[in-house]
Chain A
Amino acid sequence: MTQAEAKNVNVWYNNFQALKNINLTFEPNTITALIGPSGCGKSTFLRLFNRMNDLIPKFRLEGMVTVNGQNVYSDDVRLDEMRKNVGMVFQKPNPFPKSIFENVAYGLRVNGINNKKILEETVEHSLKQAALWDEVKESLKKSALELSGGQQQRLCIARALAVQPKLILMDEPASALDPISTAKIEELIFELKKTYTILIVTHNLQQAGRISDLTAFLYLGELIEYNHTKKIFLNPDDERTQNYITGRFG
């Protein structure tokens, strides 16, 4: 079963066409890296899956974007319901100015879950999944803002996991972190694959190589090549892909 899909997707910002006829499918329990030079449309593409582009003025979409077989741009879709299935992690950690516990519990409370036992169990489970539990279990009431950058990013991942999404979108999740925190995040992403489907935008090609199963190379709004990561990094079919990953343009 396909977890997420983009079918004949075209996107415009006013008159500028940001994505050109993209067709991609994502299978469950895979990590797909979206790579390409700045402005190639990879973040735009990523944000289609939780409709984060909707608020951008003059944004226009043609084509279909589905998660779990449901068209996320369909008129009858409730955004809050849809986003429960699609977690998002951003480049810079963005914890709320609340306690560690309340950050993770936030999504549940928004969805009307206030049962203390359920909240405690979910917070613990999510923090364990995000490989942060052992570091914060004694200080759950501490402000999230007191955590290190790497810990804050894992907290944001725990917050995304708490509502049990199917798809997790990551937009350069480790680019603001030091190598040790980056390694932890990468290890975590690799573990999360067992349960979730992950799309990750990254400018770090070595990171794409280390963690992803599949890689999509976008250039000037077009999908140039989509294949197994090993194939892309050993012998890409398209010369533009080779030029990009070997640093010869972009």
Chain B
Amino acid sequence: MTVIDNNIEQIKSDLIQMWTLVINQMEKARLALVNGDKNLAREVRMNEKRVDAFELKLDMDSEYVLMLKNPVAIDLRFILSVLKINYNIERIGDYANGIAKVAERLDGPVPEDILQATHLPEMFYTAQNMIHVSLKAFENSERNSVNHLFGMDEKLDKTNNNANAIICKLIQEKPDDIMLILNALSVMRKLERTGDHILNVAEELIYYFDANIVKHSKKNEDF
């Protein structure tokens, strides 16, 4: 094992830990929201500091490798990808934190009829699945599974595009629950943004695996 291998292994391990932490944060935020569990919401908010600490450490360690180890080829692509993946995963951590804040604000669980009308369970499922698939792709160098992420994001976009109509209809039907419904809308937006950030991660994974830059390409293109 070369000197740079040690650095890269450490960075990879830290990023996987951060990614796993964010997956857990999102799941706890979901449970806090649907069960009205304020203690769990608080736990998510406390753990947000750990996500931030990981981000800073990964930034510093990546800078260190760039500065002192002169990475090239796959090592260089790894470090450049990690710097951007790190940023995107941290942002997803912020969304989990934001959903936990919503759960803290509410008086109880989000009622089942509102959950179903806003498609929040499906959105959670898709967004969480995307984070999980992207992590496995990174961890096990599963290049093929990266392509699936683009299709998964389209599902989130589709629901999100209908969000205004869904919310208007719900407000008309349940004017007394307007604050609750607007909070549900804010969660929908966060989950849609989560999908966007995972797409950014997918683009970085393609760069890492193939040295292809696919940013700003058509999403439907088969990479």
Binding site for B on A (CB under 8 A): 205-206, 209, 233-236, 241-242, 245-248
B74 part of interface (Cβ distance < 8 Å): yes
Q: Considering the chains assembled together, what is the distance between the CA atoms of A233 and B210 in angstroms?
A: 14
Scan residues 1-29 of chain B and give those whose CB is less than 8 A from a CB of chain A: 2-4
Q: A205-B70, A234-B73, A247-B3 are in contact. List 7 more A-B contacts (CB 8 A).
A: A205-B72, A235-B74, A235-B211, A245-B73, A246-B2, A246-B75, A247-B2
Q: Which 10 A-B pairs have the closest CB atoms?
A: A235-B211, A233-B72, A242-B73, A247-B2, A245-B72, A246-B75, A206-B70, A246-B73, A245-B73, A236-B73
B76 part of interface (Cβ distance < 8 Å): yes
Smallest Cβ distance from B115 to chain A, in angstroms? 46
- Listed by A's residue number, 29 A-B pairs whose Cβ atoms lie within 8 Å are A205-B70, A205-B72, A206-B70, A209-B72, A233-B72, A233-B73, A233-B76, A234-B72, A234-B73, A234-B76, A234-B77, A234-B211, A235-B73, A235-B74, A235-B77, A235-B210, A235-B211, A236-B73, A241-B73, A242-B73, A242-B74, A245-B72, A246-B2, A246-B4, A246-B71, A247-B2, A247-B3, A247-B4, A248-B2
> B74 — which chain A residues lie within 8 A by C-beta?
235, 242, 246
> Most A CB atoms within 10 A — which of B73, B76, B211?
B73
Chain A facing B: main interface SS: helix
The total number of A-B Cβ pairs within 8 Å is 34
Smallest Cβ distance from A186 to chain B, in angstroms? 15
Q: Considering the chains assembled together, what is the distance between the CA atoms of A140 and B201 in angstroms?
A: 61
Q: Considering the chains assembled together, what is the distance between the CA atoms of A248 and B5 in angstroms?
A: 9
Q: Identify the closest chain A residue to B69 (Cβ).
A: A247
Binary contact track B46-84/A, C-beta < 8 Å → 1, others 0: 000000000000000000000000111111110000000
> A246 — which chain B residues lie within 8 A by C-beta?
2, 4, 71-75
Q: Identify the closest chain B residue to A245 (Cβ).
A: B72
Smallest Cβ distance from A125 to chain B, in angstroms? 37
Q: Identify the closest chain B residue to A205 (Cβ).
A: B72
Q: Identify the closest chain B residue to A209 (Cβ).
A: B72
Q: Identify the closest chain A residue to B74 (Cβ).
A: A242
> B76 — which chain A residues lie within 8 A by C-beta?
233-234
Smallest Cβ distance from B13 to chain A, in angstroms? 19
> A234 — which chain B residues lie within 8 A by C-beta?
72-73, 76-77, 211
Smallest Cβ distance from B77 to chain A, in angstroms? 7
> Most A CB atoms within 10 A — which of B71, B74, B210?
B74
Smallest Cβ distance from A76 to chain B, in angstroms? 45
Smallest Cβ distance from B208 to chain A, in angstroms? 11
Q: Considering the chains assembled together, what is the distance between the CA atoms of A203 and B75 in angstroms?
A: 19
Smallest Cβ distance from A97 to chain B, in angstroms? 39
Smallest Cβ distance from A235 to chain B, in angstroms? 3
Q: Considering the chains assembled together, what is the distance between the CA atoms of A53 and B71 in angstroms?
A: 35
Q: Considering the chains assembled together, what is the distance between the CA atoms of A91 and B2 in angstroms?
A: 28
Q: Considering the chains assembled together, what is the distance between the CA atoms of A233 and B167 in angstroms?
A: 52
> Most B CB atoms within 10 A — which of A206, A241, A248?
A248
Q: Considering the chains assembled together, what is the distance between the CA atoms of A104 and B80 in angstroms?
A: 47
Smallest Cβ distance from B79 to chain A, in angstroms? 12
Q: Considering the chains assembled together, what is the distance between the CA atoms of A236 and B77 in angstroms?
A: 12
Q: Considering the chains assembled together, what is the distance between the CA atoms of A117 and B78 in angstroms?
A: 58
Q: Identify the closest chain A residue to B70 (Cβ).
A: A206
Q: Identify the closest chain B residue to A233 (Cβ).
A: B72
